[in-house]
Amino acid sequence: MTNLEKANYIAGEWVGSDDLTENRNPSDLDDLVGLYARASAQQTHDAIASAKAALPSWSGASPQLRAEILERVGVELLARREELGALLSREEGKIISEGIGEVTRAAQLFKFYAQEALRVEGLAIASIRPGVRVEVRNEPVGVVGLITPWNFPIAIPAWKIAPALAFGNTVVFKPADLTPACGWALAEILSRSGLPAGVFNLVMGRGSVVGDVIAKSPDVNAVSFTGSEATGRGIRTIVAERGGKIQQEMGGKSPLVVLDDANLENAIDCAIGGSVISTGQRCTSNTRIIATPGIYDSLAEGMAARARKLVVGNALDPASQIGPVVDERQLSTNLRYIGIADGEGAERLCGGEVLDRPQRGFYLSPAVYANCTNDMVHVREEIFGPVVSVLKAADYDEALAIANDSDLGLSSGICTTSLKYSEDFKTRSTSGMVFVNLPTAGVDYHVPFGGRKASSYGPREQGRAAREFFTTSKTAYTNPL
């Protein structure tokens, strides 16, 4: 095995494979990030068996031990944030500042859950029967399968792995086949953290092989999945039919309402910063901008002017403000939706063009569309690219109705100086997260993350809410004779 070849991590050992996938830099296709071993179905079964065997001792381990291990991981991530941030930018295409920021977030998550591991909670309450004591305990759910996406290749794994371990579960982790480098780097840190063999396992590879085994295995007690809605539905059906526990985040088409009284510059910041930045590859992106008549024209023009000035370039170039699209397939998807938008009669104010750069890569200029309606295909479906649509609403009530008229409900936002409308929007928006005078795409790690409708299924992620998924409740009655 060469230095470029990276193996899976199963039962405390690095396990290779003859099936390797090339990981190339979307900013520079001549740059080979590495060769990553794709796990076979049997290797995935081995990882699950390893996690099952390690569960009794790890679930009974001292909270202090768990805390120390998670803290150790967080400290190393923080110390190596520039190195690992550059790796993230090379494999996924985020600009370097965002890559470093994401690694920093992963470190913060491990450090947060190190403390949560020490907050062992339960209830001791009076029984309705005299002399009987009642306790409610939160115990580990068991072996958990974690399936993560390519757009946040270290932060999303961190916000699943850290709470899973903190609450005494054992882990089988499958990163996205498109972006395995960050998942492997995180696994390598975990392999040196003091975790007993089998507590954490890395199985890279195809969803149709690795993900399928994880979903179907009766020895996997719970599955946490972030990815597309179509894949999520299939996994949910499989896991539910065998009685497993399921948690899913599956995308969004987030609206941002902009009222006449909004601060125009802030609204432009929110509209562009929450949509096309990060190449639009965020499930929380506010790609539906719904403006009232008094601000509509100036907002649309301002968004287009701002988008034209954004520097699209190599993710490792500090001058770049937007990196490349993650791969050729996603670029083709983006271009297909741009063609749909043009055909639907939306007015393309700027962008939507493939760009030439000194290095071969998947570069696309951010597209701003005006005169859109909520029944257009490109407005209703998640594109996952730097494409943003501006719609007009007669007033606040119509804007709210348009915002809520979606099959997805991850996040939503409003730009206004009116306390009345901001409070009403927070109450009546049918999304799981609401933002006032902020882009919808920035979230904190210590509070719940999740949506409504088809965006999410099962308990929330992040913060203390993660305890609900990663633990199971037990009620114990005692008659002290």
User: Catalytic amino acids?
Assistant: 249, 283
3-state secondary structure the chain: CCCCEECEEECCEEECCCCEEEEEECCEEEEEEEEEECCCHHHHHHHHHHHHHHHHHHHCCCHHHHHHHHHHHHHHHHHCHHHHHHHHHHHHCCCHHHHHHHHHHHHHHHHHHHHHCCCCCEEEEECCCCCCEEEEEEEECCEEEEECCCCCCCHHHHHHHHHHHHCCCEEEEECCCCCHHHHHHHHHHHHCCCCCCCCEEECCCCHHHHHHHHHHCCCCCEEEEECCHHHHHHHHHHHHHCCCEEEEECCCCCEEEECCCCCHHHHHHHHHHCCCHHHHCCCCCCCEEEECHHHHHHHHHHHHHHHHHCCECCCCCCCCCECCCCCHHHHHHHHHHHHHHHHHCCEEEECCCECCCCCCCCCECCEEEEEECCCCHHHHCCCCCCEEEEEECCCHHHHHHHHHCCCEECEEEEECCCHHHHHHHHHHCCCCEEEECCCCCCCCCCCCECCEECCEECCCECHHHHHHHHEEEEEEEECCC
